[in-house]
């Protein structure tokens, strides 16, 4: 949206443009959209793909490999794919429980019971044609308390846990640049990443728009609508 319409525009603005022009996009937006689509067709590898998405550019094959492996793992963990084609893949609920319990069991003792759920024929998720007759479980946590060994754990022990379970902390604390970052600084950085890296802010959209505009000018010589239309048609 930001790439095509420009910064400070939202879905209402798009609706306004369409309503005001008999349901058609105006020439400028249409041209920009076309240019963006042409760019998608030009993407030939994953390096260009990440670049086109506006994500951090990878510098070498190793980084690219790590990122792709991480993407597949993350996608699998979130249950985005694989259910239909891999019958043996664990249920996303079980994966989520495993993930959370792995973090919790490091410092706490849990009493968790597992209840077997009977399938509901009206529920499309339990359709045996898609997923097979898989047993589903519901987990009930009855009690949670500190492990004896963690009741009076030192800051170093908690730090080791953070490093073990969170990659961004391990990365910060094991590099020479930021090895002395405090927990408060790491929390601030985590919040900043959550707020800015994963979401496209207006400032980021403006920055990307400027980059795009410069590329259009470099490619086409100018950015005027008429000239763009002619060059697009040509």
Partner 1 sequence: MYDQKTFGFKQLYLKLVFEQMLQDIPINHDFELIYEFIKSFGTELTAVNIKPMDKSSLKCNNYWLLGIIPKLTSLKSLTLMLHESIYNNADFFKFLQKSFQYFEKNGGKLHNIGFNLA
Q: Which residues bind partner 1 (CB under 8 A)?
A: 10-11, 78-79, 92-93, 96-97, 99-100, 103-104, 107-108, 139-146, 153, 155, 158-159, 161-162, 165-166, 169, 182-188, 190-191, 194-195, 199-201
**CB nearer partner 1, residue 46 or residue 158:** 158
CA nearest neighbour of 25 among 225, 233, 227 = 225
**CB nearer partner 1, residue 82 or residue 232:** 82
**CB nearer partner 1, residue 39 or residue 134:** 134
Bridge partners, residue 112, by sequence = 141
**CB nearer partner 1, residue 25 or residue 161:** 161
**CB nearer partner 1, residue 44 or residue 122:** 122
Q: Angle formed by the axes of helices 155-165 and 183-192, to 10°?
A: 30
Q: Are 211 and 203 in contact (CB under 8 A)?
A: no
- Alpha helix (H) residue ranges in 20-127: 27-42, 46-53, 61-77, 92-104
CA nearest neighbour of 205 among 32, 10, 71 = 10
CB atoms within 10 A of CB 166: 15
């Amino acid at each position: 949206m930001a790439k095509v319409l420009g910064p400070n525009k939202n879905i209402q603005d798009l609706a306004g443009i369409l309503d005001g022009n008999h349901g058609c996009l105006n020439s400028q937006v249409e041209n920009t959209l076309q240019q963006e689509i042409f760019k998608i067709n030009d993407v030939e590898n994953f390096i260009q793909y990440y670049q086109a998405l506006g994500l951090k550019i990878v510098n070498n094959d190793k980084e690219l490999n790590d990122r792709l492996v991480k993407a597949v793992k993350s996608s699998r963990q979130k249950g985005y794919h694989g259910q239909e084609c891999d019958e043996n893949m664990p249920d996303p609920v079980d994966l989520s429980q495993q993930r959370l319990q792995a973090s919790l069991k490091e410092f706490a003792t849990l009493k968790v019971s597992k209840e077997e759920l009977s399938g509901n024929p009206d529920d499309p998720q339990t359709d045996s044609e898609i997923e097979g007759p898989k047993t589903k479980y519901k987990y009930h946590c009855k009690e949670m308390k500190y492990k004896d060994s963690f009741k009076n754990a030192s800051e170093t022990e908690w730090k080791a846990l953070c490093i073990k379970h969170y990659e961004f902390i391990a990365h910060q604390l094991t590099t020479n640049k930021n090895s002395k970052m405090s927990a408060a600084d790491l929390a601030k950085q985590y919040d900043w990443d959550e707020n800015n890296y994963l979401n496209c802010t207006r400032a980021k959209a403006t920055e990307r728009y400027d980059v795009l505009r410069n590329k259009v000018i470099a490619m086409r010589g100018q950015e005027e609508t008429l000239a763009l239309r002619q060059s697009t048609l040509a």
